[in-house]
Amino acid sequence: MIGQLRLSHVIAGFVAVVVGYTGSIAIVFQAAEVVAATSGQINSWFLALGFGLGLTSLGLSWWYKTPVLTAWSTPGAAFLVGALAGFDISEAIGAFIISGVLITLTGVSGLLERMTKFIHRDIASALLAGILLQFCVDAFSQLEREPMLVGSMLLVFLISLKFSPRYAVLLALLVGVLMSINMGLIQTGNVQLSFAQPVWISPTFTLDAIVGIAIPLYFICRSSDLS
């Protein structure tokens, strides 16, 4: 398997990871801020996500002898931005655990395959559209504030969709970063690089968090699979 590895494979995997990770990282960051997470807790959150996604992608790819990339649910992250209001971070962690257990049981039991026979694909797609619509609309509202930045990213994204859809998100991201630096929107003078440190957060299981976060998050993630 190692002997068959080529540079093109590494590049393809790198692009897939970068696009998958950066595609919704801002949404996950917003969700963390809603529960008033500290910078150390947010860094720890992304550290755990990075290790979790990396280890599961590597393990599943090795086991099944085919490229497998695991990632967080973008619709699920978008849902959390609004759903986490009024909860603290320990309650959120407890809800995440409950939702994760439900998702795992659904996959292991084969329930998801049976659910596809009863839930129409259009209904699942409509659920996702309702969650992501606000974020899509907000992107255009920013066009009025920063026309050069947002406009250039949008133009590159649309052109890339036509000629190279695989790299559309990555190219839009690179253009956005370069434009932000050129316009002085990114200040790198005070940037300090350091390793993230894991921070332990004990989960709290409450009925409100289970009903308000865990169960809806479970159905949103399942709807994402069905669509």
CA distance between the termini of the chain: 33
Rounded to the nearest 5 degrees, what angle is found at the Cα of 92, between the Cα atoms of 90 and 93? Answer: 65
pTM of the predicted model, to two decimals? 0.67
Residue 80's closest CA among 207, 204, 214?
214
Domain boundaries, the chain: 7-146+196-226
Q: Which of 8, 10, 100 is nearest to 48 (CA)?
A: 100
131-165: b or e for each residue (b if 16 or more CB lie within 10 Å)?
bbeebeeeeeeeeeebeebbebbbebbeebeeeee
C-alpha 86, offset from chain centre = 22
How many other CB atoms sit within 10 Å of the CB of residue 166? Answer: 13
Task: Tell the residue number behind the tokens 């490229």, with chain if given.
Answer: 67
64 neighbors 117 (Cβ within 8 angstroms): no
Q: What is the pLDDT of residue 225?
A: 56
**Per-residue pLDDT tens digits of the chain, which is 227 residues long:** 666 777 767 777 777 777 777 667 777 888 888 888 888 888 888 888 888 888 988 898 888 888 888 877 777 777 788 788 888 889 989 998 998 888 888 877 776 666 656 666 666 667 667 666 776 777 777 777 888 888 888 899 899 888 888 778 778 888 888 888 888 877 767 677 778 888 898 999 989 888 888 888 887 776 665 54
